[in-house]
Structures are given as structure tokens and as C-alpha cells.
Structure 1
Amino acid sequence: MNYMDEYRDRRTVLGLAERIGKLASGRTAPMTFMEVCGTHTMAIYQYGIRSLLPPEVRLISGPGCPVCVTPNGYVDKAVAYSRLPETIIATFGDMVRVPGSSSCLMEERARGRDVRVVYSPLDAVSLAERNPGKRVVFVGVGFETTAPTIAGSILAAHARGVDNYFVLAAHKTIPIPMQLLSADPELAIDGYLCPAHVSAIIGADSYSFLASEQRVPCVVTGFEPTDIMQGVEMLVRQVVEGRSEVEIEYSRVVKREGNRKAQQILAEVFVPFDAEWRGIGVIPGSGLEIAPAYAAYDAEKAIPVAVEEPREHKGCLCGEILKGKVTPFECPLFAAACTPEAPVGACMVSSEGTCAAAYKYGR
């Protein structure tokens, strides 16, 4: 048995399902657990995790997809920058197809704008070096997982004297929205499956305030079926025993303190600010903007551009889906007007989007 097979072993998964059923048996109301990681969302649908759980355990998907929580206004800015002369837009692949208010980067590329997909922010820095007569604007979307790499690209551009590299920053942090959602009585969240990739950077202790102040159990969980099932079992056990702690199931990667080096880079290049989240609104202190010391690399400060008034797409429930208040199947556009080939909302575009996961594995 190789390393991956151990975490996908059918007997182990079914054994965990049986243990969860016994632990949860007799509960008068279901326990509601939210995952806030797009990779978890995809894995839960892919492996049919919900079908293995008893009626007493309910899983809902939260705002764990960074592309999905990015509001239309940001996409509109990226589109506006793509229309400027002598400007190259560099972006990760997911962002190319995300609809803005009236266009997307893919449509702009079809109209002749210079939009390029890169695999790393450092590729965008190199692109700027090779094109000294043009501005390269990197579309910087992500949580604490990708933010250090984008911060590193700014440091690299600074060290290499690249003055035509800019970042359109839309980085967000996860713990503060989790606090907001767990305080929502309509959701009545009993525990969190905490994101693994993010936690590898910020550390499991970053969720301690949720357990101590809001009495919400948290388990940092990996992505394989046994990881997720064991994470659910740990949450159920905490609820049944009346505990609220931060536990680590994904101990082979995540530590209490996180990645100190990545945290140092983030603290040097970014500062907190009040960020807008699709469907949730502005959450104080939940975003990361480029620090004044590196303002020369901030596209919004260095390159003024006119942006259209943002508007949402009629009928799209992406915002409510991101809050866990409805499922994709409750959206009137799902699998009809909105498909992966012709997405209306960001939740259908991203490979980590709840609607994309439901469309691929849940129908």
C-alpha cells in the first residue's frame, strides 16, 4: 500500500463513518459543520462524503474559494487595466473566466488585449523584465496560501530593480470571516473543518479565538477521504463531550505556529485593510493591501484607471452559497443558465467553487 492509498482506503473510511454514526446517535438536532476551503469542498463532493454521514451530521460549504469571494468590482478593475495601452495582464488561470459586471479577462483577450496566464508571480516579474517598455499588472487574488508568493514577487522585483511590475491586490484572510459566520444564528455553526493550505501558513493557533471566545470547535483537516472523515469525527466528539478546542488532524503538514518565514514576508509587504467579500460585504481587517513601503508596486496607487460601476448578475445566488445559506441546487440558474462552459457566477468558474464541485460530482 502506498502513501496515498492509506488515506483512500475504503474500509478505513467506512469504519470512520460507523464511529461517527455511533457518536452522533440520539442527537435531537443535527450538528452543522462548515468547511472553508475550496479544496475541501471539491473533495467532499468528489468522494461523496455527505452520503457517508448520519442524519445528525450536516456539512455546509463556506467562503473557502478565493476566486469566488472576489467581488465583481475587482474583476472590473482587472478588465479596465487590460484595456490600457502598453499593458500586459498576468494572472492565474482561474481568474481569466470569472465574469465581471460586463466582461471578463477571457473576453478582453479575444478582443486583442494582452492577457497571459502564468504559473507563478515570479513568472510575471520575469515577463516585466522581458518587456521593459510595457507595464505588467499581476492579478493577485488569494488567501494566506498564495499571498506570500505574491509578496515574494514584489520583493524580487524590488531587489532586481524591475519598476514596471505591479500587483492588483485582492488578498483576503480566513479567520475573521469565520468569526463573523459563526456568530450568525441563522447558520448555527457547531464546528469548523479548518483549511489545510491556509493553516500551513498561519498555523492552527490562529483559530484559537474561535474556540475560546465563541466556543466553536475547530479541526484542521487534510484533503483525502480519511482526513475529512477523521476531521468530522473529531468535531463530533468535541460537540458530544462539550469541548471547544483547536485540533489538528492534518498533523503531517500543519503545525500550531505555522510557517514563520511566510508570515514574516506577509508582514513586511502587506498590511490589513477592510476588504469586500462577495455575498458578505466589507469585513474590517480581513484583507491584505500592499504596504506603503512598496506602494510603487501597487497597481491601484501607481496606475489610475476608470472603472465602471459594479453590478451583480440577476438571479445568481453565489453570495448566499458562499455564506452556506443555500446550496447550488437551490439556485435557479444552476446547471441551466449557469454551467462551467457558460458560467454566470464565480462559484461555477473556479476549480474550487462550490457550484463547480456540485456540477461535476453532485448531480
Structure 2
Amino acid sequence: MKFILFYLPSVGTLGQTRKGMAGINSQNYQNMLWQVSEQIKFADRAGFWGAAFTEHHFHIEGIEESNNPILLDLYFGMQTTRIRLGQMANVLPFHNPLRLAEDIAMLDQMLQGRTFFGIARGYQKRWADVLGQTYGVGGTMSDKSEVDAKNRRLFLEHYEIIKKAWTTDVFSHKSEHWTIPPENLNFGHEVVTKYGKGQTPEGIVTHIGTAPKTFQKPHPPIFQPFSFSEDTFRFCAREAIAPFALSTCDDTLHDLFTVYREEAAAAGHNFAHGQNIGIFRDALVLDDAAEAHKYAAMGNGFVWPAWFAPIGFNEAFRKKGQTGKIGPECDYNYLNENGFEFVGNPDQVNRQIENMVKKHNPEYFLMWQYPGPIPHHIQMRNLELWATEILPNWND
């Protein structure tokens, strides 16, 4: 199994966050950069497979302050030698797909293939509806609305353009929102004719290409977090994208993993059960289980009820066949009882992983980390115990 550290990351201690506006404090941000640097450098030496950052904007509160995961990947990647750095994820509908394709290719070249590429559709309306004005689209929680439908169409268009940019020397593209290149684009530069491609003798540009291409061929691994729906798993299976499951219901996970394998096989991808799929959980290991739960309650036990539950992420805890609305009310005990917390001493967490592997055998395990709310020395001890007491039992 491949272990990936997932950082939002939070900026500011729990006390600073509760005072308000922790995210705009420069010292808080510098503290985060130093702490995460030390943690990822240790993870690099200890044999963790990867570390990931997400994309969200305007987080003045200090929770999930991760405007540009690609820049964070490069910053931490330049301090390490083996660990892979990537995104969970880039929100495709709000990006210029050509610029994003170029940025990821540059990152992959600079880190010589130690990257992975994450894609998502975008759900946080505060920033998605602001930045989405360029394309007339906003955030969505997959509610089948008109906004949701347009978001999905842009997501698929941008995904197709990015793949073309990476896998072809030059290309053209025509879709609902894009004509690449624009019709009758007259460039007329003789260097294109002599040393490039995609221009007619009359100087009309018919194809464009991006450079550099990605270091990995045909492109870096592609991940899609965080998946609830069968439709998402089917799309990922057809494209050989690795989806990351949020659900804690074993029956739901079994159904999604089965659908993925069957759909992938129909598309010509031969995956074993659980191969090319990830599971996402909060994770903290300490010598003393009670202490681990105490600190986890300061991390995800604070952030999830305050931030994610009101947005609708308690859907992760819906049981197969359960109907009706799942409310936002929850606390750390609720998260733990529903199986989202891989927290305790090494023996307890090894048993949780063993149970997960027996039932689902995921290729990837995404581990939520909380620098800021959880003190740095606790985070480091947690990583030490993962490296010595857990990873050797499960690493590929």
C-alpha cells in the first residue's frame, strides 16, 4: 500500500484560529511552512510514498489555506529527494486548462517525475462562484442543478484539453467553451514553419502545442478526490484515474470498488480489486491511545464539525440504504464511531489498517495531517511511529 500525507494545510494554532483571522498572520504562515517542511523532509527519509495539498481560496480563517498546491509541491519538492508531491486536487472548471497543463509539466520536469496530478470539480461556493465568473460557472455538491451540469461539462472539457496537451506534439480542440486555436489565427512566422508545426504555408495556425511535456510518460498519475458517487468511480475507471473514497460504509465501498474494477475492465484496464483506488482517513498515532485521541480531537475533531460538516461532508458516513438527510451536527466521538479516525496506538491502528486491507485492499491510503491545531512535536512523533511501527507492515 502507498501512504500519502494530506495537508490542507491549517495556518495557526487551535487557539489562534478561535481568536479569528489567523490566516492573514504572516508569522502563522511562516510557522506552517517550517513545520510542514520538517514533517515532509522526515517523511521523505522514512519512506512515505507521497504528500499532497489541495486547492482552495480566500481562507482568511486559517483553515485549509492552500491557494496553489502546485507552488507548495515545488517548495517542498525542492527540499526532498524521493517523496512524490502532488495535488488533491486542482479544481479544473476554474483553471485555464492550457496554463494548468504547462504548470504541471514544469513541476514534473523540475522534480523529475516525483509528481502526481489531482483533479476535482469544486464545491466551496465562496471562492468557486467568485473565480468561476470567467466561465460563468460556480461550485457544486453534485445536486443535478444547471450550475452542476455546466460545472461537469467544463470539468470534462478541461480534462480532455490537458490530456491532449501532454500526449501530443501539437493538437487542436473544438468544444462548447473552447476553440483551440481560434479560427483564422494568422501568425505567419517563418520560424514556426522551419522549426515547429501547426502552421499552413499561408501562415494560419491550425494546431498548437505546449512545452515542456511531462517528465513521466504519457503523463503523471491522475487522482480524483473525494468520491461519493458511482458515476465518479465509473468515469475514473474508464480513464484509469485513481479515485479516493471518503465513505466509511464498508458495503458502499465494496460496491464502488466492484463497479470500478468492472468498468475499468470494460475499458481495457485490468485492475485487481482495490488496485488504483485510494481511501481517505484522518490519521494520528501516538504511544498512548488516549493522548492520540486527545490531539486528534484538536485537529479533525475541531475542523470537521466547524467547516466540513456544515458544507455537507457528513454524507461520508451514510450507510448503504440509509435515506433522509444527515445533519451537520457531529463531534470527534461521532467521527471516531463512524470509522473515519485511524487514531490510537500503533497496535490499534495496525489492526484498523489490517481490517481495511482485508475488506477493500486499496492501493493508496491518504492520511489527513493537521499541523497548526496539532502541535508540531506531536505531528513529528506521529510520523516517527508510522515510519517504524506501521509502514514496514504495509508498504509495497
Larger RCO: 1 or 2 (CA < 8 Å, sep 6+) = 1
Whether these two folds match at TM > 0.5 is no
What TM-score, normalized to structure 2? 0.27
